Structure 1
């Protein structure tokens, strides 16, 4: 579903997108938003990474930091869940710290070629998929989301099925 591209801070964008999706479908919704925040640029491109990447590509993202010594960055994924129209939105975030490097590896997935996670010698693009999926910002956000749904399901008490609703299975 195409949703409006809201402007603002990460959380505000996710909350507004999720509320709009819940309004449209009138049922529970889950949306995802990803940011790539360069510390030298005060967090930019942040939630606008899609447009920066579209215009500059991985090479241009790397070149953006040419004048700065600090090449550190945070890859942030936020899942927003809303149980229905007009209800509270819950946010689940995962973050992977890393460095913006000259692009290396396959160029088939966004900014992966220029993001090298801390404690790794390879970019997201160069890492085996299994490794990337274990350490990625998206994986961490999904773990938080999973914890929420597991705790929600564990806190629900089973309800007695009324006698008239029970089938005769003998």
Structure 2
């Protein structure tokens, strides 16, 4: 069975591991050709584009377009973050840099907890959002959104995952995302949903087809 290469436009090693795992599972379930997911460390270096858009979809497309243009390969990129109801859906696209640059997950989590310290549990609703963009040179582009609802805990729990995972308890769960196994997280996560939805489009495009317009899942 032939192997086709796709570049994931990220320098985040944990995100790359997660994406490779979810893509591999989706390919197995769909009996599709193998897809080798490369990271930016596997291709010639290029300047990372500024994420200047106000939406997850816009920033995901910026990254995927730049990667496809620079490498000549089909490119996947995601932009993801947490939206907190009482913060008017912030941090949103600023999630990775909420406490300032460079990215510091512990500082981001600590700042978020301070900002909603006096908010009761029933008002701590939030959601994780992932916009996954796929761009094929000369064959179009696609963006799919995945979401996972839940609420923000009062303190971190668990040692797994990354980013805001220790603070987030998904709807229907008694554990934080950081307390779930990798497989459990993949089954319900915003990123898992987006990747599973986009894999059939990746397979179709790599078989010679063009991509349709944007779509939400």
Superposed pair shares fold, TM > 0.5: yes
Decide whether the 8 Å contact of 2:97 with 2:108 is kept in 1: no
Using the alignment, how far apart are the partners of 1:97 and 1:11 within structure 2? 18
RMSD of aligned alpha carbons: 2.5
Give 1:4's aligned residue.
Answer: 49
Residue aligning to 1:164: none
Instruction: Give 3-state SS (helix, strand or coil) of 2:129's partner.
Output: strand
* TM-score, L = length of structure 2: 0.63
Larger Rg: 1
Counterpart position of 2:20: none
Equivalent residue for 2:70, pick from 20, 24, 36: 24
Q: What aligned pairs does 1:77-156 form with structure 2 within 5 A after superposition?
A: 77-84=130-137, 88-101=140-153, 102-106=155-159, 109-150=162-203
Q: Distance in 2 between matches of 1:57 and 1:29?
A: 28
Structure-1-length-normalised TM-score: 0.78
Give the secondary structure class of the aligned counterpart of 2:111: helix
Q: Report how far residue 108 of structure 1 moved.
A: 6.1
- Find runs of 4+ consecutive structure 1 residues off by over 3 angstroms: 149-156
1:59, 1:103 within 8 Å by CA — same for their partners in 2? no
Aligned equivalents of 2:62, 2:205: Cα separation in 1: 23
Displacement after TM superposition at 1:81 (Å): 0.6
What are structure 2's unaligned runs of at least 5 residues? 1-39, 41-46, 210-217
Match of 1:121, SS state, is coil
5+ long unaligned stretches in structure 1: 157-170
